[in-house]
Structure 1
Amino acid sequence: MKRHVKWLIPLLLIPVLFYGGMYSSSALSTASEAADNPGLALAAVGLFLVGLIGPVVAVVAAIVAGVRTYRQWRRSNGHFSPSERAVNAVRGQREHSSTAAWSQAQALRASLIAREVPPAIRVWEVVPNAGEVMFFDLSADYARYYGRDVQYSQSGGFFFGHPAFVLAGLAATGIGNTRRRNAAIAASQATWRESQPARVVVTNQRLVCHAGGQWLSFPYSTMTAVYPEVDRWTLICEFGGTAEPLLLAGPDAALISVMTVLLTHGADAVAEHPSLQRLG
């Protein structure tokens, strides 16, 4: 019954608004004529409009609430529109992908703790280094963290004439320069950039990402810090020198995290790392 209240109340208000507004308007109109009171006449007009427009608004509110209630009833009984079915299908695929990726990462961690080496694969697009073994060919959302140099120009002007005109011109120029400077500062701030889907090949020497139309190599030996957050589906890697930090996100990031921790911290870290313990 509660779900019907939202459309029943506007429906019941229709006669109340109509008859109440019209009756009150008529009564005030009669009183204003008798008392020759413009205020009562104005109030009568207002109540007449309430009686005329109020029911229309109530009808619209009742229809909208009724449609929403009907849709909720259909969803609760498993009846969905084509667009809702499409959204549910995409959501179901994502949930299934996440569940499968989590299970795969759990299985990989367990096998590594047992000192079992995952099977090697071939990735023909990537030329291996000497002694390099490829283990996984995955996908992730790729991004890099950096700022950038931004140039902007300040405009000036020569104003003459009435003092008010000169002051207005100088103020407009100052405002324009301030806006350009603030926009340049915002654009130069360090943030995650180059966000895009990427293919990620995991080897015993490096992570190889196909992003921006090229293969990019991230050797474990150059990593100075790794931040695996498997429950958030992210891995962040920092590097020495001028290389920008790397972000890999998505369901496969959990498995990439397990391998990265193994190959940067050693076999014992797979069992001991606080983030990876959430896979246990």
Structure 2
Amino acid sequence: MSSRQRDPQPQVSDPWWTYAQGAAAALAQGIEPPEVAVYGPILQDDEYAYLCTNAWTSRLLAGDGTYRHTTLMALGSAKFMVGMLAAQGIINHRRRKAARREAVPSWQLHRDSTVILTDRRLICTGSDGNLIDFWFGRVTEFYPDLRARSIVVAFGDECAPLRIDGPAVPAIALWAAVGIYGHRWINDARLHALVPADYHAARPPVADPRPDPQQWIQAKIQQRAALN
């Protein structure tokens, strides 16, 4: 395994990294993960929770580019009317600029969220404090970045992309990958730093098809901006 793929491994004590490596090693040996108790969300009869923690979440959102056009109505001298029209133009110009700025997608709704991983979904706190379900079966794109402790998950046109940041990302990324890929999670080169080296030594190298997460984010921002 190349040193590049092992780079994300921290050099100091890191409980979340240690936990994720231990869980990955157990999964690689076919050991079933232990369940954790969660309180609040009602799980399905055959659904199992594997992780409950806290992390920072945000959503990639954009405005629709519209704004309220102001028309000032008043009677007065010609000088007064000219000044009023100038003020109206300034107000509308500022609103138009603000609408254009808000139409550019950006990460919004930042919050410290409860994050729960089950074998079927990712659950996290929404902007209103209620829990939101993100079902693994609806994921269209998955970008874990262990070095940056960040994950981006997209759901096509169903809802806005979700980003998760924080120390617990190695564990969140692992369980999300298991939920998305099943046993094939171990083939994801972006997670190889979590898997024991001797496991990879017995397998042929797997190509790393990932785009850079930051490039993906910028591409999505440009695509959404072009639609507005």
Q: Given the two structures, how large is their TM-score scaled by the length of structure 2?
A: 0.71
**Are 1:226 and 2:142 an aligned pair?**
yes
Q: 1:117 matched to which residue of 2?
A: 32
Say whether residues 1:217 and 2:133 are aligned partners. Answer: yes
Residue 161 (structure 1) aligned with residue 78 (structure 2): yes
Whole-angstrom CA distance in 2 between matches of 1:208 and 1:269 = 20
Q: Do the aligned residues in 2 keep the contact of 1:231 with 1:278 (CA within 8 Å)? A: no
Alignment size in residue pairs? 183
In 1, are the aligned partners of 2:60 and 2:108 still within 8 Å (CA)?
A: yes
Q: Which amino acid aligns with 1:204?
A: D
**Structure 2, gaps ≥5 residues long:** 1-9, 196-228
Superposed, 1:145-184 pairs within 5 Å as 145-149=60-64, 150-156=66-72, 160-161=77-78, 168-184=83-99
**1:277 aligns with one of 187, 192, 206:** 192
Q: Distance in 2 between matches of 1:142 and 1:121?
A: 22
- In structure 1, the residue matched to 2:100 is 185
When residues 98 and 206 of structure 1 are mapped into structure 2, their CA distance, relative to the original with a 3 A threshold, is: farther
Q: Identity over the aligned pairs, expressed in percent?
A: 25
Question: What one-letter code is carried by the residue in structure 1 that aligns with 2:158?
Answer: T
Structure number with bigger Rg:
1
Which residue does the alignment assign to 1:244?
A: 160
Distance 2:159 2:142 in 1: 14
**Residues 229 and 202 of structure 1: CA distance in aligned 2, closer, same or farther (over 3 Å):** same
User: Hey, which of these two has a bigger chunk of helix by percent?
Assistant: 1
Distance 1:278 1:156 in 2: 63
Computed over aligned residues only, the root mean square deviation of the Cα atoms, in angstroms, reads: 2.6
CA contact (8 A) 1:137 1:202 kept: yes
Report the AA paired with residue 129 of structure 2: G
Structure 1: unaligned runs, 5 residues or longer: 1-94
Distance 2:157 2:37 in 1: 31
Give distance in 1, aligned partners of 2:145 and 2:13: 14
- For residue 269 of structure 1, report the CA deviation from its aligned partner: 2.8
TM-superposed CA distance for 1:217, in Å, is 0.8
Q: 1:258 to 1:160 in 2, by over 3 A?
A: same
Once structures 1 and 2 are overlaid, which stretch shifts more, 124-133 or 226-235? 124-133
Find the counterpart in structure 1 of residue 53 from structure 2: 138
Q: Displacement, 1:248?
A: 1.1
Task: Report the alpha carbon displacement of residue 182 of structure 1 after superposing the two structures with TM.
Answer: 0.6
Counterpart of 1:268 in structure 2 is 184
Task: Quickly say closer, same or farther: Cα 1:191–1:98, change in 2 above 3 A.
Answer: farther
For the residue of structure 1 that corresponds to 2:93, the secondary structure is helix
> 2 CA distance for matches of 1:121 and 1:179?
52
Residues 1:259 and 2:181 are matched in the alignment: no
Which residue pairs with 1:3 in the alignment?
none
1:136-171 Cα offsets, whole Å, 9 max, x none, are 111111111122345322234567435xx6655544
CA distance in 1, matches of 2:22, 2:179: 17
Q: Aligned in 2, Cα 1:124/1:174: closer, same or farther, shift over 3 Å?
A: closer
